[in-house]
Chain A
Amino acid sequence: MGHTMAEKILAKASGKKQLSPGDLVNARIDMALGNDITAPVAIQEFNKIGVDTVFDRERIALIPDHFTPNKDIQTAQQVKIMREFARHFNIEHYYEVGRMGIEHALLPELGLVLPGEVVIGADSHTCTYGALGAFATGVGSTDLAAVMATGELWFKVPPTIRIVFEGVKRPEVTGKDLILYTIGQLGVDGARYCALEFTGPVIRRLDMDGRFTIANMAIEAGGKVGLIAPDQVTLEYLQGRSKRPFTPVESDEDAPVQQEYRWDVSTLEPQVAAPFSPANVKPVSQLAGTPIDQVVIGSCTNGRIEDLRQAAALLQGKRVHPRVRLIVIPATQAIYLQAMREGLLEIFVEAQAAVSTPTCGPCLGGHMGILAEGEVSLATTNRNFVGRMGHPKSSVYLSSPAVAAASAVAGVIVHPGEVGEVK
């Protein structure tokens, strides 16, 4: 009987011949990540362990991205703790303002997370790297501390839920719509403790940016990882980026899975998650006409170049609705530069959008676009819990960049087709 990707990757990393769901293993970690919220706690815990060196200074990434450029004294202090730790242990992958990006966009861009690897991050959206076929999962700060000291961490081998997207999707349907639809079907705990594996012809034809968006939100269904088997698209993306040799892993055809869903998405519409749950998902037509105060295009879910291209295509030659504030946040410096070279930033500014330096910013209600009482935002981010983007009585709808850009022009939630053509 065959094995799933999740089982195979964990088996290799823990020196086991084969594993089954439920087995507890100690796995070697290929890359460990912390950010300006989680790393300070991890550093505090690391210091209690009593080691005088980190397990590998090239396999730790510390990325200040949540409250940076620092919004106040407290957040500046937090980043200072990281910076000093990074300098002290000569951590290779510490990226300062001006060189940084949102962690889950930055690490793949730099070739620091690779197929077949085990990656942990003290951030729940670490599952993003599953798009490259890495067993990548979010943990807490204490876990990160243990890994920084020992290079190992315990895992329970998860059962796999396989999602097969069939048919040919419409051009205005993106990776975001596929994952929102999935979360709507599974619910916020439908994949709790499970590995999600996405496959089928629609995935095979999807570009890397769309795949990152899908894997990114596996956690919103409770998933431990969101895996996509590496293929030609993956290998092309890694060309010239990968910092280490790697071995792609895929599931055996006959690997037993806990559950399989097959969805023909040929007639699927763009999807929107309404407040206050990422599983409260409806086709955009059902929410059309909902007034909005702010639109945010960015985050580790949808701040990549393809996202910005889709948004710019709809905003070109148009103006953001006078009642709406549009904030565009390229996820990394490289994406920012690329968007500048392609003229996308000019389109945004001419449309009267604010373009920000890379940061998590409003995604978690940190800074750069906080909502007041009663305000409504449409965002390409990943969570719309109560108070997520500001006041406890504000609300957030989640969508693709295409829906977000079109709605910014219309002033209400609309199908992107109402504003322009999506290619």
Chain B
Amino acid sequence: MSTIRGKVWTFGDDIDTDAIIPARYLTTTDMAELAAHLMEDADPSFPQKVSPGDLIVAGKNFGCGSSREHAPLALKGAGISCVIAESFARIFYRNAINIGLPILESAEAAAALQEGEVVEIDLQKGVIQDSSGRRYTAVPFPPFMQEIIARGGLINYVREKVKQGE
């Protein structure tokens, strides 16, 4: 399923991984437990407000700071269907691709999309359509990364590679 429809939650620039999931909750690897504290230092009521299928729209350098994969895991656990940002911090970008959390880089969409609006996304094409019908195209992934995404993440990709090697 490569089409997503969801409600937008907006955040600013430089949202760090301590904001996405504070270190005090890193004592578990359970996605649901992590999701219960998603973004709570930025907005304490966020875990209650967010619903599965919603999207996060943010400014530049989303996911900066620590390498904790618990950050994309918490987002996935809360059912966030996609993160759209002007840009992503490097490790977060890798982690999201690796665990199969859809992310799209689009400065235009990040600037234009408003909190609460419902947008439609064609993940395969990287096209985002806002509630008034305007379209934005995200920066395409390199072919190699598209392959990881198509196989549902790095582990599946490696598993197949290992099998072929046998």
Interface string of A370-401 (1 = CB under 8 A from B): 00000000000001011110001000000000
CB of A145 within 8 A of CB of B155, answer yes
Q: When the two chains form the complex, which single residue of A75, A141, A189 contacts B60, counting CB atoms closer than 8 Å?
A: A189
Classify chain A: how many residues form its interface, as a range: 35 or more
CB of A51 within 8 A of CB of B162, answer yes
Q: Does A78 contact B (CB under 8 A)?
A: yes
A33-41, A257-265, A283-291, A314-322: which one contacts chain B? A33-41
Interface string of A138-175 (1 = CB under 8 A from B): 11111101100110001010000000000000000000
Q: List the A residue with the shortest CB-CB distance to B88.
A: A192
- Scan residues 74-133 of chain A and give those whose CB is less than 8 A from a CB of chain B: 74-75, 78, 121-124, 126
What is the bound-complex CA distance between A40 and B69, given in angstroms? Answer: 11
Interface string of B20-48 (1 = CB under 8 A from A): 00111011110000000000011010000
Q: When the two chains form the complex, which single residue of B22, B68, B142, B162 contacts A149, counting CB atoms closer than 8 Å?
A: B162
Q: Does B87 contact A (CB under 8 A)?
A: yes
CB of B27 within 8 A of CB of A192, answer no
A residues near B64, Cβ cutoff 8 Å: 188-189, 222
Q: When the two chains form the complex, which single residue of B19, B87, B159 contacts A192, counting CB atoms closer than 8 Å?
A: B87
- Scan residues 36-78 of chain A and give those whose CB is less than 8 A from a CB of chain B: 37-38, 40-41, 44-45, 48-51, 66-67, 72, 74-75, 78
Q: List the B residue with the shortest CB-CB distance to A74.
A: B27
Q: Does B81 contact A (CB under 8 A)?
A: no
Q: Does B113 contact A (CB under 8 A)?
A: no
Q: Does B94 contact A (CB under 8 A)?
A: yes
Q: Which of B23, B28, B41, B72 has the most CB of A within 10 A?
A: B23
CB of B18 within 8 A of CB of A383, answer yes
Q: Does A248 contact B (CB under 8 A)?
A: no
Q: When the two chains form the complex, which single residue of B14, B16, B158 contacts A49, counting CB atoms closer than 8 Å?
A: B158
Q: Does A277 contact B (CB under 8 A)?
A: yes
A residues near B16, Cβ cutoff 8 Å: 383, 385
CB distance from B28 to the nearest CB of A (A): 6
CB of B98 within 8 A of CB of A143, answer yes
CB distance from B91 to the nearest CB of A (A): 5
A residues within 8 Å of B by Cβ? 24, 37-38, 40-41, 44-45, 48-51, 66-67, 72, 74-75, 78, 121-124, 126, 138-143, 145-146, 149-150, 154, 156, 188-189, 192-193, 222, 224, 277, 364-366, 383, 385-388, 392
